[in-house]
Chain A
Amino acid sequence: MNAVAELVRIRSLSELDIARIVAIDERLSGVYRPEVWERRIMYYLRRDPDASQVAEMGGKVVGFMLSDLRGGEFGLEETSGWIERFGVDPDFQGRSIGRKLFEAVVEHLKRQGATTVRTLVEKKDSELATFLRAVGFKDAPLTALEMRIGLSAAKDQN
């Protein structure tokens, strides 16, 4: 473990992390969308604040991983942990922050009875897929399917 990694503090999500998560997302996506994160973080806080973790360096949140424990999704009756949102400030990438967040989340999910952790990755997001494989994810025997409906679907067909 290098000196920088030792300074990373991993802790449970709190409502005061919204501003920094919004800022990290803005750096990653180029879009400022506080309303989205207020809604999402409220969801994770009311479900289980310990299932979502943030990484702090020097008192500043530099990464986050939001997850939830659910059963019965898509016919999967076993209780599964779902990792749904994840981000590390570009200035702090390459310092094992994602891995530390992942380990803390998995540790908590295991304690709560999860036997599997699941997630979905966009095919074009190869960087994220590489990270997830590096921490131990493998292809699942499930296929993600979707169908556009509504206005955008009509446009696509035209």
Chain B
Amino acid sequence: MNVEQTTLPKKYHDAVLHWQRHNFPDYGLLPENWQKYFPSDPEFCLCAKMEVGMGDEVEVGDAKGAKRREKPEELGEEPAKHLLAIIRAQASTEFGSIQQHEGTFARAQDDEDRFWVLRVMAEELRHGYQMFHLLVSQDWSGVSGQKAEEMVEEILSMQTGSHVLDAFNLEYDSFVDNVVFAAVIDRVGKYQLSMQRVCSYKPFAASMPPMLREEAFHLAAGVIPLRRWVQRAAQGNALITTSAIQKAFNKWMPRGLEMFGHEKGGESNIRFGFKNMKNAEAQGLYYEECKRMIADLNQRYIRARLPKLSPEDAEALATRLLKDRARHDGISHEDLIELPAKGFFRRKGDAAFTMVGFAEEAFTDVEEYVRHLAAHLPEPYLASRDMKHYVESLRQVVAGTITRDQAMKKMPALKRVGGMCPCSKSVRWVVEEGATTLPS
């Protein structure tokens, strides 16, 4: 590949490995099993990869045509602050997703699925490492007000519940979440990385192509198990039912849509040359792509039940079943998967706390809406802290005790935890050179 690989200075590299020991203890299984599940693939490397040969000109925005920036101070204060927030949020998502995956990945019923997810987790670790490379290889203190160590430490201290984006603050309930997350949330990642490929800050732009190539595998690690699960469900040999898959989609899709930012936003990203699409445009394309993914899954299900149908006939049957809410040749519309409406179960953006139903129904009674959500979301998730906070906020919005804006800012409800490693109160995530470290 046309990439340059680099490692972080030792103290940061060690900090990431220390974090991995606490948050990703199964990491060691990957090299042990690499040849079995990924024969002939280059071995995993925990390093930053920079694409060689990226263009030198800014592609979009106010500085279009000018030379790409290579240092934060060349960006100007406001754009530099804005980009720093993007890099930190990106880093938070990478480490956050590993914490989420780790909870349930061992529950996979199929070893191949499990090792695909394990590789996804390792590559997310590399992506977090990549963002650290961007943070520590240049001086951001002019806009961050923090030393590089402090930024790294803050990100490594985040836990599920204290990450920047809501999607990374939800616990997984089962291995279905590992897979649906890869298909739905990593797909948002693909959009963000694709948009950021044009970035006017060259080191960030050069980070994107290697990450995007890895992201293609992550999406496949979501979609291919889903395809196999629906096929087995259709053949009456269901490890995972389509109803369980549907509910997992309902849990993750709203959070995925919100990861694009408010539907009215994204102007600054274009102006500063950081992305090439506004939020609503990218979100719209994402939603259509998710529709296509679901249509493929439904076609896979129908053809497993009715193998003599052509692909076109299977697609037409799925459309008809879902439109007429009907049954045909023993297949019900309830056997298929549907995408929830864009406004369903939203807590950020245009539709936040507006009580839009799964099929775009408008609710006015909060308790009726809560019952509707209960019928469409995974049962274990209903008992989660996240759901409890959402319902509390929704009741307050409907009662008029808080505004929608206030409710949006209330989530997530947890505060950031401190910058200490959990193995000892006296060991920090990033150890100063020469300091004494205690064994973990």
Contact = CB atoms under 8 A, between A and B. Distances in A.
Interface of A: 12-16, 18-19, 22-23, 26, 32, 34-35, 38, 41-42, 45-50, 70, 111-113
Contacts of B418: none
Contact of B1 (A32, A41, A48): A48
Given A34-B227, A112-B2, A45 B300 contact: no
A18 B227 contact: yes
A42 B221 CA distance: 8
A112 B296 contact: no
Interface string B30-41: 000000001011
Given A18-B227, A19-B296, A41 B220 contact: yes
A46 B224 CA distance: 13
Nearest to A49: B216
Contact of B38 (A18, A34, A41, A46): A46
Q: Lowest 5 A-B CB distances belong to which pairs?
A: A49-B216, A15-B220, A23-B311, A19-B296, A46-B217
Given A15-B222, A34-B231, A35-B228, 7 more contacts: A12-B216, A15-B224, A23-B311, A38-B228, A45-B219, A46-B217, A46-B220
A19 B299 contact: yes
Contacts of B119: 46
A47 B41 contact: yes
Contact of B307 (A22, A32, A42, A70): A32
14 contacts: A14-B216, A15-B222, A16-B293, A18-B223, A18-B227, A19-B296, A19-B299, A34-B300, A38-B227, A38-B228, A41-B220, A42-B224, A45-B219, A46-B38
B306 to A, nearest CB: 11
Interface of B: 1-2, 38, 40-41, 53, 119, 213, 216-217, 219-220, 222-224, 227-228, 231, 289, 292-293, 296, 299-300, 303, 307, 311
Contacts of B296: 16, 18-19
Contacts of B292: 16
Nearest to B309: A32
Question: Which applies to chain A's interface (DSSP): helix, strand, loop or mixed?
Answer: helix
A7 B303 CA distance: 31
Nearest to B3: A112
Contacts of A46: 38, 41, 119, 216-217, 220
Nearest to A14: B216
A58 to B, nearest CB: 14
Contacts of B219: 14-15, 45
A50 B213 contact: yes
Nearest to A47: B41
A32 B213 contact: no
Contacts of B38: 46
A112 B3 CA distance: 9
Nearest to B219: A15
A134 B300 CA distance: 37
Nearest to B52: A111
Contacts of A112: 1-2
A38 B216 contact: no
Nearest to A12: B216
Contacts of A49: 213, 216-217
A70 B213 contact: no
B2 to A, nearest CB: 6
A16 B1 contact: no
A22 B216 CA distance: 19
A41 to B, nearest CB: 7
Contacts of A38: 224, 227-228
Contacts of A50: 213
A69 to B, nearest CB: 8
B234 to A, nearest CB: 12
Nearest to A50: B213
B309 to A, nearest CB: 10
Contacts of B293: 16
B307 A15 contact: no
B32 to A, nearest CB: 18
Contacts of B311: 19, 22-23, 26
A15 B216 contact: yes
Nearest to B53: A111
A6 B231 CA distance: 37
A50 B224 CA distance: 19
A41 B219 CA distance: 12
Contacts of B213: 48-50
A45 B1 contact: no
Nearest to A69: B1
Contacts of A15: 216, 219-220, 222-224
Contact of A111 (B2, B223, B224, B299): B2
A38 B281 CA distance: 30
A70 B299 CA distance: 35
A42 B2 CA distance: 22
A34 B297 CA distance: 12
Given A38-B224, A112-B2, A45 B217 contact: yes
Contacts of B289: 16
A112 B51 CA distance: 11
A42 to B, nearest CB: 5
Contacts of A22: 311
Given A47-B41, A48-B1, A50-B213, A19 B300 contact: yes
